[in-house]
Amino acid sequence: MKITWLGHSAFRLETTKNTILIDPFLNGNPGAKGVDIKEATKGVDHIILTHGHGDHVGDTIALAKETGALVTGNADLVSWLSSKGVARVDPTNTGGTVSYDGFTVTYVNALHSSAQLTEDGVSHSLGSANGVVLHFDADPTLYHMGDTDIFSDMALINELHNPQIGILPVGDRFTMGGAVAALAARRYFKFEHAIPCHYGSFPIIDQTPEKFVAGMEGGETKVVVPTTNQQFTI
């Protein structure tokens, strides 16, 4: 699997069958400086959203219209996106699994909120916040936690899915901080690779993943701290 961090919580995943964007916040993302958006979105066939906040939905509407990609997300969120002209949506919700050619997506709990102040000046509730577990036919299972705090039922997520790759928010204030994210990774999972995100993009959150990296020291998990827009392979 080829993985590219596009800043904040946005990732591009490339497998033998699919090109997937998770939470494609690109335009207006301070953490996406230097990202060639056309290159980052080239060939995309799926967009997967963890929740409805603007720094995660990001460019979904424009990208879905431009690429024809199928957008998967909480039923309330994709219903709202459909009303904005997104033609191909696939609704799901916490605990549900949807199957595609080459992979499945399961929506799991996250401790966070999910609403958006839209252009009409109204705050719209856009369903629950979630993490997503992606099982691939020929690649490691990946768990993108979305925005969340630690919670003890992460142990059940590991029992059910045994993800080999974990993507964890570490920026604090709106999510768990790095030390707590490291505790979550070490206590509840057996990740082969752990990737920190949701830091360094806005001044109000932590600027580096140092606390997470320090908290993971001495463990068996390989911590991958990606450079924005640099592809790496797992």
**Percent of the chain scored above 70 by pLDDT?**
99
The yes-or-no verdict on residue 121 having pLDDT over 80 is no
| Mean pLDDT, residues 34-63 | 96
Q: Is 97 exposed, middle or buried (0-12, 13-18, 19+ CB in 10 A)?
A: exposed
| Mean pLDDT, residues 110-118 | 88
Q: How confident is the model at residue 11 (pLDDT cuts 50, 70, 90)?
A: very high
Report the sign of the C-alpha dihedral through residues 231, 178, 32, 142, in that order: positive
User: Is the Cβ–Cβ distance between 125 and 114 less than 8 Å?
Assistant: yes
User: How does the average pLDDT of the chain come out, rounded?
Assistant: 96
Q: How far is CA 165 from the centre of its chain?
A: 12
List the domain boundaries for the chain: 2-233
Q: What is the pLDDT of residues 144-172, one digit of tens each?
A: 999 999 999 999 999 999 999 999 999 99
In this predicted structure, what is the pLDDT of residue 124?
Answer: 78
In this predicted structure, what is the pLDDT of residue 33?
Answer: 84
The CB density around residue 142, as the number of other CB atoms within 10 Å, is 27
Q: How confident is the model at residue 117 (pLDDT cuts 50, 70, 90)?
A: confident
| Mean pLDDT, residues 42-54 | 97
| Mean pLDDT, residues 218-227 | 97
Tell me the whole-structure pTM to 2 decimals: 0.97
| Mean pLDDT, residues 103-126 | 88
CATH topology of domain 2-233: Metallo-beta-lactamase; Chain A (3.60.15)
Q: What is the pLDDT of residues 14-41, one digit of tens each?
A: 999 999 999 999 999 999 988 999 999 9
In this predicted structure, what is the pLDDT of residue 82?
Answer: 97
Q: Which residues pair with 97 in a beta bridge?
A: 106
Q: Whose structure tokens read 């549900």?
A: 96
Q: Is 233 exposed, middle or buried (0-12, 13-18, 19+ CB in 10 A)?
A: exposed
